[in-house]
Structure 1
């Protein structure tokens, strides 16, 4: 066993040992830790941002894109959002111990299901260091220990945030190993962690397609994927032009680096001539690069030819594809081929078409006359999220507190025996 493999094995064992304490921890203690962490983030904001500045400088030297640097930055706004998120999680009801679906069986026993933690969660993610705090908060409240492996570009930021988390835990006599950040950028560390199936219960990768495929191929542990956000909006022939234009522009430009930002626009041929010229002009004013099919190019000078590799691409920037489709059938087939099961939206005035779109589109969230940007734990009332699952087993869509738990059967009897 190499030195790094040995260190990762030790981290996994420490996390498993620490997690046993959380099963019996009172909600009040967990909430106090979360509020303590929020206070420490405010108190130590300057030091944290100094470390983040070093990551940003190194990232700029390495040639990271503006979108990547935006994800990496712990601005005053992002810091405030982390603090607010911690308070929101502290205010939420504790899901653990809840017993539901109780029913009396003919034998006399009462059978129900109790919500319990998953155990130890391994988060593998890129860029966004705020994920470190969000994940720590959700895992602590849901009774899980967490091992966090961020990208090399955010190592200083993540270690600074981990140190603050450890201080909050220690102040309440809790094991700092409940929240661990992998202190090395060596890729072999991930490989070693993915072999710890006896200690780690779930792996959640968040990042590019290469990361997800590598983790899925190597892991001995169940993987819950936060896959690419290739999100489409289909402008149906019955759409309200002004409302559709407002939704499309906002879904693309409000935060283009987000995984729920719009990446592909599909327009019904019967409304294309009326809708696309104005939409392309509005998007062009927002500096959005439009890559389209031949038909769309004839309707606006702002639309250039798309390459085959552009379809189904997650741009995470001010760029998107445009395609004129024959009808709903072609739109559904296009989404099935190029979507990523993240978020899809239809803009329509037809109840029948809206219902069909909701039934037939396979995505973690399907919108009718609304922006794809709404696929978010906070917007859905879940509070913070640990990611948006594009897998179907265990969780599908934003993962909040409940999605970080499972349910075990409990049986209440009075001396019954099986006949």
Structure 2
């Protein structure tokens, strides 16, 4: 991962494999059972890697399902940092020792551990604004049944990998058929997303002719 000195002073192209501040948005149309499975996998499969879930963003209309949605995380003793609305819903259902009120610094944090923040939003638009503000442009996901919500999310989220109804744990070179992974680029040029050896190479054009000229 290059630091600012590397990027500012390098005499060769630098690819930044930046931090993974990863969100999953549970839409008002999201399926509860699907959400439970995806969130559990994204957060707990390998919490110390960059594709692990850091923040759950949930539509306010689905707060009634929040306790059930996050109940599986108790098994792994995941610590939650919830905003006030989510905290009130979870209190009494999620273990008191694992539930805390979110502070501003809990959003935009790559936890790399069994910790996760929870943010309540009133609309998909608000979810997109929150994600755009805090995302590291690594991997972002939506859990939704509504085709319009999924299309909006896919088109408007600026990240190397954007998922619908899928765990962000899939962001990996081998999973993408690239072979051994070198890193995951959060830039747009000259490589983006999971990288392997091919992404570190360039090419040149070799043209053999027999006197061809280009017409005026």
Q: Same fold (TM over 0.5)?
A: yes
Report Cα offsets for 1:304-345 as digits up to 9, x if no partner. Answer: 111111110001000011011111001111110000010000
Residue 99 (structure 1) aligns with = none
Identify the match of residue 231 of structure 1 among 8, 17, 22. 22
Is residue 277 of structure 1 aligned with residue 73 of structure 2? no
Q: Which has the larger radius of gyration?
A: 1
Report Cα offsets for 1:29-55 as digits up to 9, x if no partner. Answer: xxxxxxxxxxxxxxxxxxxxxxxxxxx
- 1:418 Cα shift? 4.9
Q: Is the 8 A contact 2:32 2:69 kept in 1?
A: no
Identify the match of residue 170 of structure 2 among 374, 391, 395. 374
- 1:415 Cα shift? 1.4
What residue ranges of structure 1 are gaps of 5+ in the alignment?
Answer: 1-205
**Structural mapping, 1:339-378, within 5 Å:** 339-378=135-174
Residue 328 (structure 1) aligns with = 124
Identify the match of residue 396 of structure 1 among 177, 189, 192. 192
- State the Cα RMSD in Å: 1.4
The TM-score normalised by the length of structure 1 is 0.48
SS of equivalent to 1:393: coil
Is residue 215 of structure 1 aligned with residue 6 of structure 2? yes
Residue 405 (structure 1) aligns with = 201
Residue 76 (structure 2) aligns with = 286
Residue 108 (structure 2) aligns with = 312
Residue 89 (structure 2) aligns with = 299
SS of equivalent to 2:150: helix
Give the Cα separation in 2 of the matches to 1:300 and 1:280: 9
The TM-score normalised by the length of structure 2 is 0.92
- 1:396 Cα shift? 0.6
Count of aligned pairs between the two proteins: 209
Residue 144 (structure 1) aligns with = none
SS of equivalent to 1:381: coil
Report Cα offsets for 1:194-243 as digits up to 9, x if no partner. Answer: xxxxxxxxxxxx2xxxx532322332322110000001000011111011
Residue 44 (structure 2) aligns with = 253
Give the Cα separation in 1 of the matches to 2:67 and 2:5: 42
Give the Cα separation in 2 of the matches to 1:239 and 1:359: 18
Q: Which runs of 4+ in 1 moved over 6 A?
A: none
- 1:381 Cα shift? 1.1
Q: Which one has the bigger helix percentage?
A: 1
Q: Is the 8 A contact 1:262 1:320 kept in 2?
A: yes
Report Cα offsets for 1:106-137 as digits up to 9, x if no partner. Answer: xxxxxxxxxxxxxxxxxxxxxxxxxxxxxxxx
Q: Is the 8 A contact 2:21 2:109 kept in 1?
A: yes
Q: Is the 8 A contact 1:212 1:227 kept in 2?
A: no
Give the Cα separation in 1 of the matches to 2:34 and 2:63: 15
SS of equivalent to 1:322: strand
